[in-house]
């Protein structure tokens, strides 16, 4: 294995994909459930504490949203993928 290769990004991608498709039953009672109808991701973008997936239906983001980085128009954290606002102002 090359010293420049790290399995950490691959683990984050695997976890992000699992969140998209498998976490439906893992949400707490007061948390929204994952939408399993979300199409498979075209590409993923991973931040330190958030993830965004480009899908046929647009952009879906989840995770920490302290600075509005999810593009949802607020600062609420999202435990499951939520539509991001991609309109230009």
For each of the chain's 89 residues, which pLDDT tens digit applies? 444 444 566 666 666 666 655 444 444 455 566 555 556 788 888 888 999 999 887 899 999 999 999 999 999 999 998 999 877 66
* CA distances in angstroms from 64 to 3, 15, 56, listed in the order given: 30, 15, 23
Domain residue ranges of the chain, discontinuous segments joined by +: 39-89
Helix (H/G/I), strand (E/B), else coil: 16: helix
Q: How many CA atoms lie within 13 A of 40 on its CB side?
A: 0
* CA distances in angstroms from 12 to 17, 19, 28, 47, 86, listed in the order given: 9, 10, 22, 10, 24
């Amino acid at each position: 294995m090359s010293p420049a290769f790290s399995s950490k990004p691959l683990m984050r991608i695997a976890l992000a994909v699992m969140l998209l498709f498998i976490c439906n039953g893992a949400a707490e009672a007061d948390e929204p459930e994952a939408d399993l109808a979300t199409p498979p991701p075209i590409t993923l973008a991973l931040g330190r504490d958030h993830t965004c997936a480009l899908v046929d239906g647009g952009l879906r983001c989840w995770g920490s949203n302290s600075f509005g980085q999810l593009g949802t128009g607020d600062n609420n954290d999202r435990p499951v993928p939520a539509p991001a606002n991609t309109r230009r102002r």
